[in-house]
Amino acid sequence: MNDQDSVAWVRARLKQARKVFVLTGAGISAESGIPTFRGPEGYWKNYSPQQLASPEGFARDPKLVWEWYNHRRRVIAGCEPNAAHRAVAEIERRAGQFLLCTQNVDGLHQRAGSRCVVEIHGSIWRTRPAAGGGAPFEDRTIYDEDQLPVRAPDGALLRPDVVWFGEALPADAYARVDAFLTSGPVDVAFVIGTSAVFPYIVRWAAIPRHQGALVVEINPAPSLPENIAAVRFAAKAGDILPQLL
Ligand code: APR
């Protein structure tokens, strides 16, 4: 089936869909100007992930890690949600039951109008004590270099409220996605802009497929196995999603 036939088919199924699930990764923010992680321009190319996004890396050099997150805050603050983010928010408005699970920490889905959002890897716009399990708080500051690493007034080291390599996913967020997927069959599921490197991402795409949902992947380099994604658009999210509305 060519893309136009696939677009017509997905549009028809989406129109009848009562329950819709959306999974996104860095690729949905690429057209907003935010680099993906594993692409040619990826964040990781100058540093190893362990140096920047791991408890060990932070313990070794909290200033370097904060410099990287502060740089990302500055980049993200200069970006706008794109047509793909807006289309996902429109799909939510039209669906009866809806959940968006994003691996992104940039907050662009919420700025585009998405409401039912699980940030499975946390948020770059939240900060929390690095030790002691203190509560996260919203923090939209873009710091000056000499303010890094960020510390509480009492001098305690703070960290971004994001999930690092080797850390557990937030249990409440994980449970919310599982509860949504297991509380009745999904009709249409979208997997957008992710290399799906983590097993839980593939699992959350496989559950709707086993329920009989239409699973649609949108990615110039499709990453899901064919037995999960019934429709795969090898295209940019911003090109395909608006056509599905
Ligand atoms: N539209 C759709 N997909 C795109 C676009 C686009 N315009 N541009 C790139 N992509 C795809 C790429 O082909 C790639 O498959 O987006 C995907 C981005 O993959 P990654 O960079 O691996 O990002 P992601 O899948 O979100 O990584 C998951 O890994 O590094 C950790 O915590 C980090 O949340 C991140 C997680």
Q: Which residues line ligand 1 (CB under 6 A)?
A: 25-27, 30-31, 36-39, 42, 103, 121, 193-195, 197, 218-221, 223, 236-237
On average, the pLDDT of the chain sits at 95
Identify the pLDDT of residue 111.
98
Question: Atom of ligand 1 at shortest distance to CA of 105?
Answer: 34
Say which residues have a Cβ less than 8 Å from residue 92's Cβ, sequence separation at least 6: 20, 22, 98, 100, 113, 114, 115, 116
153/175 same-domain check = no
Q: What are the tokens at 160? A: 């971004």
CATH number, position 54: 3.30.1600.10
Q: What are the tokens at 48? A: 């190893």
Q: How far apart are CA 31 and CA 81, in angstroms?
A: 9
Kindly report whether the global pTM for this prediction surpasses the value 0.85.
yes
Q: How far apart are CA 235 and CA 85, in angstroms?
A: 15
Contact 142, 125 (CB under 8 A): no
117/236 same-domain check = yes
151/235 same-domain check = no
Identify the pLDDT of residue 46.
74
Domain encompassing residue 145? 35-78+124-162
Identify the pLDDT of residue 179.
98
Q: What is the pLDDT of residues 41-99, one digit of tens each?
A: 666 557 777 788 999 999 999 999 999 999 999 999 999 999 999 999 999 999 999 99
Identify the pLDDT of residue 51.
80
Domain-ending residue, one of 143, 162, 181: 162
**Would you tell me how many other CB atoms lie within 10 Å of the CB of residue 242?**
13
Ligand 1: distance of its center to the CA of 140 in Å? 24
241/129 same-domain check = no
Identify the pLDDT of residue 150.
98
Residue whose Cα lies nearest atom 23 of ligand 1: it is 26
Question: Atom of ligand 1 at shortest distance to CA of 26?
Answer: 26
Identify the pLDDT of residue 223.
95
138/230 same-domain check = no
186/236 same-domain check = yes
Identify the pLDDT of residue 47.
79
Identify the pLDDT of residue 3.
84
Question: Atom of ligand 1 at shortest distance to CA of 218?
Answer: 2
Query: Is residue 111 helix, strand or coil?
Result: helix
Q: What is the pLDDT of residues 135-193, one digit of tens each?
A: 999 999 999 999 999 999 999 999 999 999 999 999 999 999 999 999 999 999 999 99
Whole-Å CA distances, 224 to 156, 192, 202, 217: 42, 10, 7, 7
Question: Atom of ligand 1 at shortest distance to CA of 49?
Answer: 30
Number of structural domains the chain divides into: 2
Identify the pLDDT of residue 133.
87
Q: What is the pLDDT of residues 91-110, one digit of tens each?
A: 999 999 999 999 999 999 99
Identify the pLDDT of residue 45.
57
49/92 same-domain check = no
Ligand 1: distance of its center to the CA of 26 in Å? 4
Residue whose Cα lies nearest atom 35 of ligand 1: it is 103
Q: What are the tokens at 51? A: 């140096």
Q: What is the pLDDT of residues 108-125, one digit of tens each?
A: 999 999 999 999 999 999
Q: What is the pLDDT of residues 3-40, one digit of tens each?
A: 899 999 999 999 999 999 999 999 999 999 998 888 77
175/240 same-domain check = yes
Write out the E strands in the chain.
19-24, 97-102, 117-119, 122-129, 137-138, 158-162, 188-192, 214-218, 231-233
27/40 same-domain check = no
105/205 same-domain check = yes
Ligand 1: distance of its center to the CA of 151 in Å? 31
103/221 same-domain check = yes
**Candidate of 31, 32, 36, 165 to mutate for ligand 1, largest count of ligand atoms within 8 Å of Cβ:** 36
Amino acid identity, position 39 = G
Q: What is the DSSP string of 25-53?
A: -THHHHTTT---SSSTT-GGGSS-HHHHS
Mean pLDDT of 208-217: 98
Residue whose Cα lies nearest atom 5 of ligand 1: it is 27
- Catalytic residue ranges: 121
Bridge partners, 21 (sequence order)? 99, 189
